[in-house]
Structure 1
Amino acid sequence: MEGTETAERARLRRDLVDLLNTYSSEAQHIGHAFANQHRLHATDMHALLAVMHAERRGEPLTPGRLGEAIGLTSGATTALIDRLERGGHLRRSRESADRRVVHLRYADAGMALALAFFTPLAPRTDEVMAQFGVDELHTIEKFLQGMIGALTAYRDELRQS
């Protein structure tokens, strides 16, 4: 019995990694289609996603934290933010008593473009998620958080070498 479980675990590991890679690739294709439609660079997409995720967590990014998150120098981050702000995708916001602290927010125009592009995808992903119970979704969430943590730790190691 133990050998079968080990073989099944190895198969699942291989298949899940392949599925994650395929998912990542397909998500990148969709992201590139959005970027091409709106004349954005791949780095712009990474920045917009980082800003969006930070806003959802209630922890808006500063320019410095955005640069760290996507691996850019201070100068490159400033150029990126300037470009996205000119394009109506981002806005700088001073929300702190310390007026030197700048937070990055998704601009209304940029959010409208993103919603128009990605909204047709929502019923498709909702249909898939509806096939799973809450407990199963919690397990999937835990798995994906762990995998993202592993990737992030490895990315950080690569940046240091």
Structure 2
Amino acid sequence: MQAVYAPRDTPRRKLQREIIERMRWYVVQSEHVAHAFARRHGLHPTDMAALIAVMDAEAGGAPLTAGALAARLRLSSAATTAVVDRLERAGHLTRDRSRTDRRRVELRYAEPAMALAAAFFRPLGERTDHIMAGFDEAELAVVLRFVDAMAHTVEAYRGDLEQ
């Protein structure tokens, strides 16, 4: 059966379809791994999404506030407060005053959570490092550009659906 978005089965269309299928498979497999981590540590899937958002923002040098986390996860402020409270009680997050603006409260990934995540995800990280070693920098740059564009497209479509 031919997909609606591939009217002719040209070599390019076939390759595009295979890429989309592999990306969906990757997403599903990644979600299974994330859910396994969440189950082992008593986390709700939304808690995992929040932890990842906080970790990524902090690694990028721009820690999130609760409001920014709410916007990123598209949660109400009450739901975000509940998530942050749960994660703080469990020792996964801390609320810290900004180093540059003491009025601003930033969410930080707590050391115990980092240790749990490192222990759990280290074997996967080693495997992905091995895969990436097979690509030169120019190839990795193309992959990054592609994945980034695809992620932005899905995010924009998600926004359209929520209007």
Per the TM superposition, whether the score is higher than 0.5 is yes
Determine the structure 2 residue equivalent to 1:151.
Answer: 154
Runs of 4+ in 1 over 4 A off after TM superposition: none
User: How many residue pairs get matched?
Assistant: 155
Determine the structure 1 residue equivalent to 2:134.
Answer: 131
**What amino acid sits opposite 1:155 in the alignment?**
R
**Helix, strand or coil at the partner of 1:33:** helix
* CA–CA separation in structure 2 for the residues paired with 1:75 and 1:92: 16
* CA–CA separation in structure 1 for the residues paired with 2:99 and 2:126: 38
- Over the residues paired in the alignment, what is the CA RMSD in angstroms? 1.2
Deviation at 1:8, TM superposition (A): 1.4
Q: Confirm whether residue 31 of structure 1 aligns to residue 49 of structure 2.
A: no
Please, which moves more after superposition, 88-97 or 26-35?
A: 88-97
**Helix, strand or coil at the partner of 1:88:** coil
**What amino acid sits opposite 2:91 in the alignment?**
G
Q: Percent identity at matched positions?
A: 49
Gaps (5+ residues) in structure 2? 1-8
Determine the structure 1 residue equivalent to 2:144.
Answer: 141
**What amino acid sits opposite 2:156 in the alignment?**
A
Determine the structure 1 residue equivalent to 2:54.
Answer: 51
Please, which moves more after superposition, 124-133 or 31-40?
A: 124-133
* CA–CA separation in structure 1 for the residues paired with 2:133 and 2:99: 40
**What amino acid sits opposite 1:42 in the alignment?**
P
Structure 1's 131 and 97: CA in aligned 2 closer, same or farther, altered over 3 A? Answer: closer
Determine the structure 2 residue equivalent to 1:9.
Answer: 12
Equivalent of residue 76 in structure 2, options 41, 65, 73: 73
Determine the structure 2 residue equivalent to 1:83.
Answer: 86
Deviations 1:98-137, CA, capped at 9 Å, x for gaps: 4331111100111111111001112211111111111000
Deviation at 1:96, TM superposition (A): 4.6
**What amino acid sits opposite 2:31 in the alignment?**
Q
TM-score (norm 2): 0.91
TM-score (norm 1): 0.93
Q: Confirm whether residue 120 of structure 1 aligns to residue 135 of structure 2.
A: no
